[in-house]
Structure formats: C-alpha cells, structure tokens
Structure 1
C-alpha cells in the first residue's frame, strides 16, 4: 500500500485537512483536501480569549476531520495552528481540550516558524534564487527575504486579511477612504522593516488570497494554461484586478469566477497587502507559489534525513518525478543527450546554425521527456506529450518555459506545432517560434537514432561535400530500424541547414 500522510492546518479564516499519498517517485500527491470556513478569528475576544463558541466550533470541525482520517487509516496526522490559537491567552486549555476529545494533538507554530515553513515551500518548488515571500492568512502575515536560496530575514505581522477587514472595513466592501487608511497603515508597517525597502526582487506569494487574485486575473485575460503555481503578474496586473474588484458591488464580487465566495469580503484588503508590499519592495514581479505552510512542514520531514532541508536542484527533482511517473528510461535519455551533444558540437563547428548554451539546456530537458505521452497512447504520443507538459505543474519552470518545453518535447511536424502553439501565439515572436521548431526537430532526429532503444549509434560525424551535407553514423549492431527512422526524419533537419543531407550508416 502507498503511504499516506495527513495534515490539519488550523488557520484564522479556514481549517483545512489535506491527505497526501506518496508516489513511487517520492512525490506527495494530494488525494483529499477538505476545507471548513470557521473564521476562528471572529471568536477571539478583545481580551484575546477564544470564546466557548469558537472552541466548540474548532472541536466539532476536528471531529468531522477525524472520521475522514480514520477512514484512510492514518497512523499519525500533523495538526498545526497559526495566528488565532497563537494569540489566544487560553491556548493551553484549547490544546488540552483537543487532545482529550479528538485523535489530534495541536502544535502551535510561532510566527517565526510559520515564516520559515513558507520560505521552505517556495525555495523547494521554484527556481527563484532571491525573493521576498509573503503569506497572508486570516490573522497574521509572514514575510521573508532570501538570497542564494538561503533565508536571511523573516517577520510575522500580527494582522491578516480577516483582522484587517475587522479593523478597517465597516461593510463588506471597503470605501475609498477605508482603502486609503488601510494603505497608509500597511505602508507604515512594511516600512518598519528596513530589509524590505527597495529590494528589486520578485515577491512570491502564498495562501488562498494570493491564489484567488491569480485566478481572477487568469479569467480576466482568458489564460490558456492550466495551473496557478509560478504564475507571474506585474504591478499593472495587480492594479487591473484591484480596479475590477473595487468597481463591483459585493453581490457581483461573490459571483466572480475564480474567487472563493467565502473570500469575497477579504479579497480587497488582501490585495492591498500585495499592492503596498510590491511598492515597498520595488518588486520586479508578483509570483504565486501554490506550495505553502503545509508543504514546507513536509519538506522539512521528508528531506531532512538526507542532511538538508533544501533540494539541491528543484528542476532536476521535477524531471526525476516525471521519469518515475511516466516510466521514462533514464539510460535512454542519457544516450540521446550524448547524441545531441555530438550533433550540436558539429553544427557549431561547421557554423550551420546558431545554437546557444541555453538552447542546449532546452534540448536536454526536452530529451528527458520527449514523447512521454507514449505512456498513455503510442499513436497520439505527441498530442499527449504536449498536453501533459503544458498543463502539469513542473516545479522550477515558469509558465512560458513550460510551454516551450512542451513544444520541443512534442515536436512532430510544423502543422501540429502550429496547432499546439495557437493559444500561446503572442507569447513568442515568429523568430522564437521558428527557433523552437528547430530545437524540436533536432531532438526528434536524435531520438530516431535510438529507435530500438539499444544505444547502437556510437558516433555521428557531419561534413560538407559539394554543397551537400554528409552525415556519417557509426553503429555497433544492426542499424536498419534506426536508418529507416533517421531517413524519415531527416527532412526536418534539412530545413534547418537549407540543403540536402545524405545519411551514411556504418557498422563498426
């Protein structure tokens, strides 16, 4: 049986149970995600006591979660609590009641721990090496600054979307005056941390409010790609969402696609946090991380036995997971990459086509997942490959890079390429599109030289004779299958070199 892990996150706005299943690659796949909008923050009195109604709501919610965790036969469930329980003066009484009446024992996180786990989630699921992170919950907001993937600064502010709404907004939607007062307060708070000022780095945001902002923006622009992790917005995009939300009556905000109805009254205060922070940091972009606190806790537990809490290379880890999930033979990938290296070296030396080091990286990544759609269906492997890679979250790849990878790894011919790229046509210039086709054609040709997966092609040599190209291919074994595929695919390479190619296969 696959091992399952459970975590309960007791937040100020929502209480959530997430159950993960460990895949053969080691990746945790979410199989259950149950959310209760408890808004515990509303039950915290002015004296910072969680009242009886709030405690009763918490116990009822945890008992309902208990039925699910028992059904899944989970031995141990992590149960963490953040701002509201942290700020409650009757915290010990709450923890004792939960332990006495449920299967769970609450671990109350400090603000510093909450910020650290957010950092850990971001640094292990993106390739961004320097950033400011922000995680806005219902009752607290955590910010960190990291550089070279090392945490340098962190702070937990005792305000969140729910408490800001309580303090600054009288109705469901803030007035212009209320937004101005909120903005002034947030500016003062963020300016109190000198390490935030003018950093000129990306802001990486976590949590439900950030996710909802991104989903609203994706719907506004009819975004053609699935997934929100590593979605990138600029200042003008945050302002576009702000203009939309502040122009609508509350009833319309509640109906907005992409926005959870239970966040309709919190989204504008939360967005103001992101907007003001963007200004203070003088950020280069606003990037969403779908991975957050809960993921950070698991990263600590799952990676720590290996002597580190940070993956050495996030993207490499993602490709390893893809190889495991789709039964990709890494020895075949290695051999194809060896052939690609030979081809590139000779294309460069003969000055047949300009290939950069970044192009080589792109081709090697594509070779790793080339036609992985065969796992689903051999006949339509190109189509499946493009769909999977374009729509699956790949930690470490921004959305444009993911589409580029999908286009190279699924390359079959120009008509199919044009079909795949149609929704993303304005993402790439015509010159970039042509270049991506070239990279796809070279990877496809290299794969044809290992058609039978026997790794018999040992050496490829290119030369020019009387205006034509000669490709000598030296093999260790019967090469008829490879010769057939190479002859079939050479037309794509001939278009790159703008001249015919004569293939000469040799038995070593």
Structure 2
C-alpha cells in the first residue's frame, strides 16, 4: 500500500477527505482532514432523485480543491467513494463522467451494504469494543453494521437520511409521518432475525454534533469525541431538547455548531427514533467512519480486514514516529510488567492496569522528541490527544497521568481533581506513579540491566547485576507507598 493515501467520501450532505501516512506495516496517522458541506443531494428528493446543477458544481469544485491538497501532500494513491446521493440519482453519470474527464478521478459508487460494512470495519478496528451495532446517519441514508464477538455479522442500509427527511417531511410540517416512515424502514432490521446489541456506535456528523453538545452540557473534562460513551436514558431529554428547539439561538445555547443548524433537528429526530426502536442502552461515539473503513480494507486486505491480535494502532504509530530507541522502549515495557507482578500482593490491581503501566513505560520518552525540558508535561498533553484509536477515554487519561507523575512525588487529590471522573482512586494512581518511577530509576543509565525482584514481608528486594551509584542515590528521592520498603542487592 502507498505510504501516503488519500480517501475521499462524497456523501449526500458533506464531502470529506482524509490523508493518511503509514509509519510501519500496519501503523498510520492522519496528516490532513478536510470537509466541505457541498450538499450534493440538495433538491434531488423533490425532483425524482436527480442531482441538481448548482449542487453538482459545488461538489466538482470541492473535489478539485481536495485533489490539490492531496497532490501537495504527495499522496501516491487516491480512493474516492460516493454513497447515497450518487447511487440513487438517475443522472449520476453526468457528474461521474465530468469528474473522470476533467479531474482524472474515478469515483466508486458503493452500495448501502458496502457503506455500512466500511463503517463497521472502522469501528471494529479503531474502537475498544467487540459487540455493537453501528448507526451512521447521512444525508440520504442510514447504515447499520452488526458486530458480535469481534466479527461483522450483518450490514444493512435504510433510506432515512437527514436531507431526505427534511425535504420529504420536515419542510412540509408532517413530522408524525416522518416518524412512521422511519419505523417502517426499521422493520427491515427486525426481519434479519438476529440479536440486536444494546450498544450503538454512532457515526456521522449529526451524531458527533449531538455528542459534542452532550459533552459540553456535562462539563466533560477531556476534549476528545472518539470513544466518548454515554447512557441513553440519562441523555434522552437532552437529545429531545435538540429536536424541539424553535430557533437557531437555542441550538447555539445547547452547544450545536452553526454549520449543523440546517439538518441537526432531523438528525436528532432520526437518531432518537432509532435508539427507542432498538432499545439501545449505551452510545459510543466514533470519530471514524466510511473513509477510515475504506483505508483499512485496503491496508488489511490480506488479514480479513482486522489488525493482528494484540496490535494497538495508536501505540505503534506513536512509537514509530517519536521513540528514540526501540530497544529501550521494549525494556521499559518488560520491566514494568515484572514490577507490576511482584507487587501485586500489595497493590491488588486488575491486570488491565498492568497493560496501561506497560504502555506508559514505553511511551514515557516520546516527549523528549518534542522538547527535552519538562518532558513529562509534554508527554502528558500529547498522550491525551495522541492515543487516538483503540483506547478508552479512561485508559488514555490513566496513561497520561502515570507518565506525568513519574520521577516525582506521588500524586495528591489535588493533582487528579481535574480528571477525577475518568481516573481510578487516588491510591491506584499513586501505585501507578510509583511503579513507573521505579522502572525509570532502574534503567536510568540505559544499560538495560537484568534485574530480579522479590517481595518478602512488604520489602521489595531488587537484585542488580552490579552496583549502581545512580540507582542507589536515586532511591532516596523516590517516594514510596506506605506499605512498602525497598532493599537494593548486588
């Protein structure tokens, strides 16, 4: 696969582009994201589904600009897909031919099931969950992909998009007819005769806009939408308040951005009806969708469109780009696991914290690439936004705080107050801080010593292969949990 790849998705409402750069076999990172609200389907549902001249011109000119960006970023591969508006339009060939002739771009018009599948592939690989249904609300249609035990089982597309419903029902004031129309379409899901997961992964601009407003409304401390999870029952009133607003000022007060004012009521109405009919308990918001799914299907074409077991895209991508010595990162990871295991009788932490300690230990040094001074603070801020994929919000905040309080005094209540709702108890964070600090202390001369650890009567015995003044002198500065003493042996 090309080192730099551009993916363009022409939707009914928006045209979006991502440019992704590979850093190793399976790892990649985003280097550009561009969006244009071309509304290519505007007016088509009132005109037999035919694309109208003005929206087509908007889309053509945006595509031209997208390709200029792609060329400037030296993308070697461009994949462009189109969804509901072009697959439904009787005159879509007019647009496709013009783009091919004048821009030299082949557009792949994908069917609804394929569109749903791409969303499922993106969510399955880039979110931390193995059983869910994706709901991708677009301008012309809504796609559903069912995932069970980490496998995609079904995909379906229904004609219930925001622009479609706006033109057919909302602009005419027939809201109850819109609800009946949605419910009639949703019957096709129940006809599949499958278990419907109670977790929904929400994809698409309407759902992301609703999520951002919910985050603002609840004073959520982390400004990251991908992976944000909320309880449907607790937020139902808020979603309905978006549906029932009378003017744009009220939408602004609720936290809806101006570029969503024209279709957010329809989007919220569709989403709320789907959540009710499917009896959804929890929503997990996805910052990825069709574009990333197209990319992953290309990247992972020889591995059944899934990353290898235990592969973490965010961790690998950061290490590829910012680690200074792969051998040192591996050592810190292995040593972190040993320290966690020997101290388990005292800290009694779940094994998920071992994984997070290993991740924090491997990533600790990446901040030096940005700026050597205040490296922990650099890394803290970078990790909060850099662990983009396959990490729960709680996990990324724990990793960031573990790194921030390495080689320092143990964190206090005040230190964790800002992110309290995403962090475990103070004692847990103090153990995480101590264990990474000990790990860094052991290998501060980068010699990767072969160390033996033994816990006896709350005394941690550390047997070094040879005497180290650096380790011995650093031990006096290390703040130790109250239950523990440390003895250095050589």
Question: TM-score, length-normalised on structure 1?
Answer: 0.86
Equivalence map 1:14-163=2 (5 Å) = 14-23=14-23, 26-72=27-73, 74-163=75-164
What is the CA–CA distance in structure 1 between the aligned matches of 2:24 and 2:394, rounded to whole Å? 28
Contact 1:198-1:282 at 8 Å conserved across structures = no
1:311 corresponds to: 307
What is the CA–CA distance in structure 2 between the aligned matches of 1:426 and 1:450, rounded to whole Å? 33
Alignment partner of 1:446 out of 439, 446, 466: 439
Say whether residues 1:182 and 2:178 are aligned partners. yes
Alignment partner of 1:391 out of 385, 395, 399: 385
Q: What is the CA RMSD across the aligned residues, in angstroms?
A: 2.8
Alignment partner of 2:351 out of 337, 345, 357: 357
What is the CA–CA distance in structure 1 between the aligned matches of 2:356 and 2:467, rounded to whole Å? 31
| Residues 74-103 of structure 1, C-alpha deviations (whole Å, 9 max, x = no match) | 454222211111001123333222212222
Alignment partner of 1:475 out of 464, 467, 484: 464
| Residues 301-342 of structure 1, C-alpha deviations (whole Å, 9 max, x = no match) | 1222x4331112476232111212221544334433444444
What is the CA–CA distance in structure 2 between the aligned matches of 1:187 and 1:377, rounded to whole Å? 55
Contact 2:41-2:52 at 8 Å conserved across structures = no
Stretch of structure 1 that moved more, 94-103 or 327-336? 327-336
Following TM superposition, the consecutive aligned residue runs of length 4 or more in structure 1 with deviations greater than 6 angstroms are none
| Residues 394-449 of structure 1, C-alpha deviations (whole Å, 9 max, x = no match) | 311121222122222322445755454222224456xx222121122122112211
1:461 corresponds to: 454
What is the CA-CA distance between 1:343 and the residue it aligns to? Answer: 3.7
What is the CA–CA distance in structure 1 between the aligned matches of 2:225 and 2:106, rounded to whole Å? 32
| Residues 445-464 of structure 1, C-alpha deviations (whole Å, 9 max, x = no match) | 12211111111242122333
What is the CA-CA distance between 1:46 and the residue it aligns to? Answer: 3.4
| Residues 98-128 of structure 1, C-alpha deviations (whole Å, 9 max, x = no match) | 2122221211111111111111111110121
1:210 corresponds to: 207
| SS of the residue 2:417 aligns to | helix
- Return the index of the structure with the highest Cα Rg: 1
| SS of the residue 2:5 aligns to | strand
Question: Runs of 5+ in structure 1 lacking a partner?
Answer: none
What is the CA-CA distance between 1:257 and the residue it aligns to? Answer: 7.5
| Residues 8-54 of structure 1, C-alpha deviations (whole Å, 9 max, x = no match) | 32211122343334446841313241413334242455333224444
1:166 corresponds to: 167
Contact 1:23-1:29 at 8 Å conserved across structures = no
1:241 corresponds to: 238
1:227 corresponds to: 224
Contact 1:186-1:276 at 8 Å conserved across structures = yes
| Residues 224-262 of structure 1, C-alpha deviations (whole Å, 9 max, x = no match) | 212210111211354243243245332315645753423
Alignment partner of 1:486 out of 471, 475, 478: 475
Contact 1:196-1:280 at 8 Å conserved across structures = no
| Residues 169-189 of structure 1, C-alpha deviations (whole Å, 9 max, x = no match) | 127xx7xxx544433332332
What is the CA–CA distance in structure 2 between the aligned matches of 1:28 and 1:100, rounded to whole Å? 32
What is the CA–CA distance in structure 2 between the aligned matches of 1:31 and 1:344, rounded to whole Å? 39
Contact 2:230-2:284 at 8 Å conserved across structures = yes
Q: Cα 1:322–1:245, aligned 2, differ >3 Å: closer, same or farther?
A: same
Equivalence map 1:205-354=2 (5 Å) = 205-246=202-243, 248-253=245-250, 255-256=252-253, 259-304=256-301, 306-313=302-309, 316-327=312-323, 329-348=325-344, 351-354=345-348
Question: Runs of 5+ in structure 2 lacking a partner?
Answer: none
| SS of the residue 1:193 aligns to | helix
Contact 1:450-1:457 at 8 Å conserved across structures = no
Contact 1:323-1:329 at 8 Å conserved across structures = no
Contact 1:123-1:149 at 8 Å conserved across structures = yes
| SS of the residue 2:418 aligns to | helix
Contact 1:371-1:409 at 8 Å conserved across structures = no
What is the CA–CA distance in structure 2 between the aligned matches of 1:381 and 1:390, rounded to whole Å? 14
Question: TM-score, length-normalised on structure 2?
Answer: 0.89
| SS of the residue 2:318 aligns to | helix
2:13 corresponds to: 13
What is the CA–CA distance in structure 2 between the aligned matches of 1:421 and 1:334, rounded to whole Å? 28
